[in-house]
Amino acid sequence: MILVTVGTHDKQFDRLVKAADELAGLIDEQVIIQIGKSNFEPRHATYYDFVTMEEMDELMKQARVVVAQAGAGTIISVFHKNKPLILVPRLKKFGEHFNDHQIELANILFEQKRAILIENPTGEALFHAVNKTPLSYTPSGEVKKLITAISNQLQIWSG
């Protein structure tokens, strides 16, 4: 199963939801999308507006790969579950966030080969990214260091 999550932000993320729905039409694997405040209603995938933390935790455990917005909380949750991660950052220019800090975080994780980065999501781009992820995933063992680094960066950004 492929889990796609836009997080709990109060802004839409239709670009990711549309691309994830396109992916669901291209792949022979279940795609579940947490769409949040997005306006687009998927036709090919199972979807929920929001789920509880417990439900998201269970969905992440079941997922083969997680496709997510580049929110620090989501990233930390995925790393705790030792799942491959594809990041699609929310961007200010599309009204998806109030600034572009998600692209900064996503670029760092991409450069460190800890996540696949997709800046312009399409069903085809997600299809290729999902097929790049391993069927089983073993983290490098430095997850705690990374989580600490992300937490420290969040403190810097929040001033």
pLDDT in tens, 73-96: 899 899 888 899 999 999 889 878
Largest CA distance in the chain: 45
- Mean pLDDT of all residues in 59-69: 96
Radius of gyration of the chain (CA): 14
- CB contact burial 2-35 (16+ within 10 A = b; e otherwise): bbbbbbbbebbbbbbbbbbbbbbeebeeebbbbb
Antiparallel, parallel or unpaired: β 116-117 and 65-68: unpaired
What is the average pLDDT value for the chain, to the nearest integer?
Answer: 88
Q: How confident is the model at residue 3 (pLDDT cuts 50, 70, 90)?
A: very high
| 5's tokens | 């999550």
Quick check: helix, strand or coil at residue 65? strand
126 in Cβ contact with 19 (< 8 Å): yes
**In this structure, which topology does domain 2-158 adopt according to CATH?**
Rossmann fold (3.40.50)
Give residue 136's pLDDT.
44
* Band of pLDDT at residue 151, cut at 50, 70 and 90: low
Distance CA 29, CA 46 (A): 11
Tell whether the model's pLDDT for residue 158 goes beyond 80: no
pLDDT in tens, 14-37: 999 999 999 999 999 999 999 999
> What is the CB neighbour count within 10 angstroms for residue 123?
18
